[in-house]
Amino acid sequence: MKAPVMPKPGQCKWTEGDSGSYTFPCKNRAENGSYCDHHRTIVYETPEQRKARAEEMRAANAAANKKRLAA
């Protein structure tokens, strides 16, 4: 098992993978805290924002299904 690769100081700490084999694919600078601007919006998403995004997905899927039925 290879040693975990840690992000460089100042690098975004966005992780991918599962326990034991993380990677830090994001090469962006972390300006204020642990993450770049892009990943900070995902990591610190509020439950309300998460719910709103889930609703959007549901609505988009419903619209797609309707289109399929009409065709």
Nearer to Zn ion, 5 or 60 (CB): 5
Say whether residue 7 binds Zn ion (CB under 5 A).
Answer: no
Is residue 36 within the footprint of Zn ion (CB under 5 A)? yes
Task: Give CA–CA dist 9/28, Å, rounded.
Answer: 11
Distance in angstroms (rounded) separating the CA atoms of residues 2 and 48: 39
Residue 33 or 51 with smaller CB distance to Zn ion: 33
Q: How far is the CB of 31 from Zn ion (least distance, A)?
A: 10
Residue with tokens 């694919």: 25
Cα 4–chain centre separation: 21
Residues in contact with Zn ion by CB under 5 A are 12, 14, 26, 28, 36, 39
